[in-house]
Amino acid sequence: MDKPFYDFEIVGDAFRFHFKSIGAKIIPKIIIYQETDMPNYYNLVLADVLPDGSFDIYVKSNNGDMEKILATVVQTLMVFLAYHPKANICFSGSSETRTRLYQIVLAKEIEKVNPILDILGFRNNRLEAFETNKNYEGFVVSKKKSNI
């Protein structure tokens, strides 16, 4: 949470964010918090905006700024929860590798965010309190009840 992150633009009621990854290339990115079928559950989506205006979730940018991008995602998550404090945010990577990457980031950040956020991991069709040494298929993040 204290890592460098990109400036981002908040669109509407923080359901959408735009920022630019700046490395060897300049790559516009979009983060979307989209309602799911379940009340108060939102899905986090991160994608590249391609030159033709379309969006790509699988592209490997290799722009040398992965940590800064993920730090930016965390910052947008905090903004989204400030706008929507009762929201639960679920997410997984667009591939197993990316889900594992998210897990590594959460493992690094969990001590810092623990007073503010609840992080749950999804595995074997069940949610459980996130543990750093376990592999998960997805995650659910929400504000601690005491912070709403």
Partner 1 sequence: MKTLERKTVEQPQKQMATVATGQFATVEALATYKTTQANKMLAKVKNFDEFFTVDGMRK
Using CB under 8 A, list all residues that contact partner 1: 16, 30, 32, 34-41, 43, 45, 47, 50, 54-59, 86, 88, 90-92, 94, 118, 120, 122, 125-127, 137-138, 142-145, 148
Tell me which long-range contacts 122-125 makes (C-beta under 8 A, separation of at least 24): 122/90, 122/92
Tell me which long-range contacts 8-16 makes (C-beta under 8 A, separation of at least 24): 8/72, 8/75, 8/76, 10/79, 13/83, 13/84, 14/76, 14/79, 14/80, 14/82, 14/83, 14/84, 15/80
75 vs 142, beta carbon nearer partner 1? 142
26 vs 38, beta carbon nearer partner 1? 38
132 vs 147, beta carbon nearer partner 1? 147
The CA distance from 139 to 147, in Å, is: 20
Q: State the minimum distance, in angstroms, from the CB of residue 31 to partner 1.
A: 11
Q: State the minimum distance, in angstroms, from the CB of residue 23 to partner 1.
A: 21
58 vs 115, beta carbon nearer partner 1? 58
